[in-house]
Structure 1
């Protein structure tokens, strides 16, 4: 989707903005004596988009200084008298790309597909994409040769004629040893207060004129909606300011979520009586419904396109009501839960007694063995590719047996993988996911994995809003990065610090629940309904890269195994992303025919 496009005519820059998106507040343009700023999304506060755009323009107006990009969900083009700056916020929710040749940028757009029209496909990108379902969003590579991604938190400087002057990379957060527990054991309580304050601020920054909150009955989404209700109530919000958006299932396992959902809505309305519950019937939705459309028309391959039917139905309901922002609880699981990779920190710093004691506590709290805990959070981050290779050797006999996150899936042709750097891509991806300090890299990876944003971006023009995720707010993540394990870990009680932070608001039934029903039923139903269709789509794929890249029959066998319930979440993710890539390539063929 192209919200903004920058080009050059006669050596002078020309900026075009999608008028319908500007009219709905999705794009904001401001000018001053220093220059002009065009912002897709919002800077600082959603409600104060014009002021935020002015602050961004002023912050970067002085040549030679590049401050840290402010918080928000945005991509921006700043045109000054002597230079042009391209940037995105650190969370990287809104895409931005540029096409470059011989050191000169010829076009800038929020759509890689528009910039890459007619360009050769970049095969290295597909190897990187296939190493994991977050891989394409945090690397410069795009599917098109010569088209580059601006990374989250990065600032790219151009001359007025488009000459590439420099790139200021994203700032790496300082990693420091967590503080020891405060005397008297008061640190966990202090951490809960800090988290509550950070979440309240994150929610307040994202509230719009009419805000929808996705409410599932879980701790995370209910917390966000409760905080939104309290902020709006304190402001004297009127009817229609808050919509409580939920998907409801009349049968199957997911029907068991309805009592929690009803209790969450009741408690939220106690704080904001004017809040409007909107319960969307999703009983007939299955994963992979209309998969060709959802996966084939996106700007880039979208690994989570299989889940698009459910989210699309909820998005459409919010759009019909005129909501201008939708808040979710996405990101809470990796961000505010206890960080298990602190065990890796204990191992590499030689604190083996503490490692043994805490590994036993983790095992007891999660009903797993100590060996399994150590293997997952100490050994695997140290040798991820070797661990996956051993797992595949130990569980031979099926396509999905032992297939993890980074190893080459059997249906990816070995010749293609060797020729286009799959192993190097796998190594780079493991370094991103685990890094030198896995307990810190966890938060960077969570930012790209937790939120289903490609669908939100793809639908933004028709819906009139973007999704936003308070748990992935920069300040929330910064707080959680520096909390010691003692402040967040309570055996058998996931997200203990969040539960304590919200103890006065969450209903007891939701506050105390430790397990939420997953969406596995939706996935199984989708494969039962569409498995044969997916196999046929793979076999009939017309794009030549599909045959060059994949052993199609092996991929089809993997689909059939997943349909039978074989494999696990890791291997299913590999199947889903590969299917999405096949459909995306077919979308290129259809668009060109």
Structure 2
């Protein structure tokens, strides 16, 4: 069951608001609707609005009446302050307003697109919805957009949503995060405003690490308190510094209610020790109701015991479905309204080290060598490997990055070692050529090579943080919202405004977070240098489910799109299941399998 909304604006300039399901579940507050019948002003919202006390200070006239929902608040703000008020909204949301004054629709997503919005116009009828496939079923021109699928296969980083206007269906567009747009029935649009991270990330000078850490804690705590105002709260606890930081701050929030923790525990060798770190947090005491789940039973690629949820576009992280689903299902059983996770910490609490490339670009070779030497010692890697990966390679055009053999193969990589921007060898040549896969790779490289390169990679991290698949397709249908406090807009802008030296110290993971969590986190977690990865979970899952995955590829009707050489894909799947190929190369397999799974799920529904 999907939840969301669709708003229809016809040629007569009458707006029709449809919420689905039509009968909302008791206590479900993810979707709220408000209207002013005297002016025909209407608002629908999916998600949450935070920092409402600040809004009250800025827009007092909007608070001179009883407000029973976030949609009521938005209606009052817009009625009194119009666009100026909407630009000040903070939260995790997507909203649509019918403006009777201009007889148009207004749509807005928060700056990290925590909920989606799509739209199309046909025959003087405009439709805006949180559900892409619902629109596709109503559009006469909604064939699968193969150019989008090519972009999906060539974007080499983890993400939920490609931040481009085109979608998986021709004729239907995406509203980009942080964009306020006017819509008219004939399809004309007018951009009123859009969020620009660079306008808000302004360098903070002359600040020491203790002061920066104290301010971080204050903003972080404030963001968690804001997110705790909506029902019963749970937080994922894995034993790592990120999730443990969220739990410790949320546990100590001013509330009489216990914090529920949700933890996956493992018996596999690489992760069995993580339970000890989970216990360290729980042993600190406080108002916590802890719950454990068997992580070994929720392996990767475990798609076949029950149907994959309907989802609008292919998702490269689909192989994690079972792990995400068991956590959400338990939260639902416990009556949870909001789940916190530790996602996003890497982006804001530690640097990306690509200032090495900026040093070289400026000709500061001596400083670049000195910095690379410090990192090589801290990482126990060769000086050349650090200097090339972080300093030289980001400055190279695609043809030099990929090497002569790849260039001679027209951008095709060679299994088992695929470059980030190589075309996978199981993609058919006609598809790669017709949809410009090599050109798409070159465009990404050019984007990342823009000076300053450190900033370009920070912006990439922000784009890759848009959306939350588990929130959209697993949690929301159960009336649950998933929130990532590290991705609070205030915290992001503060951290990325700090001097690099406070977030980037050779040999010290996440130095800013370590400083901020002094006296809050258990010391073994706060000063922990390494957290075990989930590679064993991935390979065990691939190996255990290989026969099912092969059958899925064999039986899929995706042949009609002419994308994959199925025999070659199955061949590399078999090799990867026994450990051939690195994690980066394996991610290209995972994306291809996710595309097939999405196509089959979507075509079966239609």
With structure 2 as the length reference, what TM-score do the two structures score? 0.88
State the alpha-carbon separation in 2 of the partners of residues 400 and 573 from structure 1: 12
State the alpha-carbon separation in 1 of the partners of residues 388 and 438 from structure 2: 23
Q: 1:30 to 1:558 in 2, by over 3 A?
A: same
CA contact (8 A) 1:294 1:308 kept: no
Q: 1:177 to 1:275 in 2, by over 3 A?
A: closer
Listed one character per residue, the Cα deviations across residues 347-398 of structure 1 (whole Å, up to 9, x for unaligned) are 233333322221111222222222211222222322363354129759x999
2:378 corresponding residue in structure 1: 365
Alignment of 1:109-188 (within 5 A): 109-117=129-137, 119-132=142-155, 133-134=158-159, 136-159=161-184, 161=185, 163-168=187-192, 170-174=194-198, 182=206, 187-188=208-209
Alignment of 1:18-417 (within 5 A): 18=20, 19-20=23-24, 23-32=27-36, 35-45=41-51, 52-61=70-79, 68=87, 70-81=89-100, 82=102, 83-101=104-122, 106-117=126-137, 119-132=142-155, 133-134=158-159, 136-159=161-184, 161=185, 163-168=187-192, 170-174=194-198, 182=206, 187-207=208-228, 208-231=230-253, 234-235=254-255, 237-238=256-257, 241-267=258-284, 270=285, 272=286, 274-290=287-303, 297-383=310-396, 385-386=398-399, 388-390=401-403, 393=406, 399-417=414-432
State the alpha-carbon separation in 1 of the partners of residues 172 and 434 from structure 2: 21
Q: 1:262 to 1:43 in 2, by over 3 A?
A: same
CA contact (8 A) 2:394 2:449 kept: yes
State the alpha-carbon separation in 1 of the partners of residues 509 and 345 from structure 2: 11
CA root-mean-square deviation: 3.0
| CA-CA distance at 1:9 after TM superposition | 5.4
State the alpha-carbon separation in 1 of the partners of residues 311 and 301 from structure 2: 15
Q: 1:176 to 1:473 in 2, by over 3 A?
A: closer
Stretch moving more, 73-82 or 404-413: 404-413
Alignment of 1:491-510 (within 5 A): 491-510=506-525
State the alpha-carbon separation in 2 of the partners of residues 210 and 499 from structure 1: 28
State the alpha-carbon separation in 2 of the partners of residues 493 and 165 from structure 1: 48
| CA-CA distance at 1:60 after TM superposition | 4.5
| CA-CA distance at 1:214 after TM superposition | 0.4
State the alpha-carbon separation in 2 of the partners of residues 107 and 292 from structure 1: 36
State the alpha-carbon separation in 2 of the partners of residues 516 and 566 from structure 1: 24
State the alpha-carbon separation in 2 of the partners of residues 296 and 385 from structure 1: 37
CA contact (8 A) 1:215 1:245 kept: yes
CA contact (8 A) 1:326 1:465 kept: yes
CA contact (8 A) 1:2 1:109 kept: no
CA contact (8 A) 2:32 2:69 kept: no
Listed one character per residue, the Cα deviations across residues 83-114 of structure 1 (whole Å, up to 9, x for unaligned) are 31011001111011001348x55311111111
| CA-CA distance at 1:308 after TM superposition | 0.7
Structure 2 gaps of 5+ residues are 56-66
| CA-CA distance at 1:178 after TM superposition | 7.6
State the alpha-carbon separation in 2 of the partners of residues 384 and 294 from structure 1: 43
Q: 1:443 to 1:211 in 2, by over 3 A?
A: farther
Q: 1:24 to 1:504 in 2, by over 3 A?
A: same
Stretch moving more, 18-27 or 409-418: 18-27
State the alpha-carbon separation in 1 of the partners of residues 414 and 308 from structure 2: 23
Q: 1:176 to 1:244 in 2, by over 3 A?
A: closer
Instruction: Indicate whether 1:561 and 2:578 are aligned.
Output: no
| CA-CA distance at 1:177 after TM superposition | 9.9
SS class of match (1:549): coil
1:579 corresponding residue in structure 2: 593
SS class of match (1:79): strand
With structure 1 as the length reference, what TM-score do the two structures score? 0.90
Runs of 4+, deviation exceeding 6 Å: 46-49, 175-178
State the alpha-carbon separation in 2 of the partners of residues 311 and 391 from structure 1: 41
SS class of match (2:116): coil
State the alpha-carbon separation in 1 of the partners of residues 439 and 579 from structure 2: 31
State the alpha-carbon separation in 1 of the partners of residues 108 and 168 from structure 2: 20
CA contact (8 A) 1:331 1:471 kept: yes
| CA-CA distance at 1:197 after TM superposition | 1.7
| CA-CA distance at 1:292 after TM superposition | 8.8
State the alpha-carbon separation in 2 of the partners of residues 466 and 146 from structure 1: 30
State the alpha-carbon separation in 2 of the partners of residues 112 and 149 from structure 1: 9
CA contact (8 A) 1:543 1:589 kept: no
| CA-CA distance at 1:2 after TM superposition | 4.6
| CA-CA distance at 1:503 after TM superposition | 0.8
| CA-CA distance at 1:567 after TM superposition | 1.8
State the alpha-carbon separation in 2 of the partners of residues 331 and 257 from structure 1: 20
1:3 corresponding residue in structure 2: 4
2:59 corresponding residue in structure 1: none
